[in-house]
Structure 1
Amino acid sequence: MRTALRTAVATALLAGLAVTPVVAGTAFAADAPAAAAENNGTLVRTETLDNGNVVKVYKLGLTWYRAEAFKNGVSIGTIEANGRPAAGNDNGNYLVLFEDGRTLAWRGNVVSPAEPGLYRLADGTVVELGKNPKDGRFGLQTVDATGKGSGFVYAYHPVRSVWTYGKAVVVLENDGGLAAYVPGQARQAAPVHLGAGVDPKPAPKPGTVLSGPTANGCTVTEKIASVFPYWTVTLTNDLKKGPKAVLKDDTDKVVGTADRQHPVDGRYGLKIEGADTTTPKLGQRTQGGDMPYRWVDFPKLPGNCTTTPTATPSATSTPAPTTGTGTQGGQTTVVPKGGVAAGAEFGTVEHANDTALLASGAGAAAVVAAGLGLTVLRRRAADRG
Structure 2
Amino acid sequence: MADWSQLPTDLLGLIAKRLDTSFDLFRFRHVCTTWRSSVTPTRRRFPGRFPLLPNENNSKNFFSSSFGFSLSKRTVFVIRSPHNATSWLIKVKEDESNRKHLLNPLKRHRFDFAKVLDIQNLSLLEIGHEYVLNYINYPPNSLNDACTLYMEKLILMHLDQKSDLGGFVLLTIHVSGKLAIYTSENKDWVILEQMPSPYDDVILFKGKFYAVDNTGRIVYVDHSCFDVNLVANPVFGGDKKYLVQCKGDLLLVDMYLSIDATVDSSFSNEYFEHEPQLAYCMSERTVMFKVFRLDWKQKEWIEVKNLRDHVLFLGEDCVFSTSADDLGVSKGNCILFVDNLFYLSGEGDGSDCGHGVGVFDLESGCIKPLENYPELSKLFWPPPAWFTPTVLEV
TM-score (normalised: structure 1): 0.28
Hey, which of these two has a bigger chunk of helix by percent? 2
The structure, 1 or 2, with the larger RCO (C-alpha pairs under 8 Å, 6+ apart) is 1
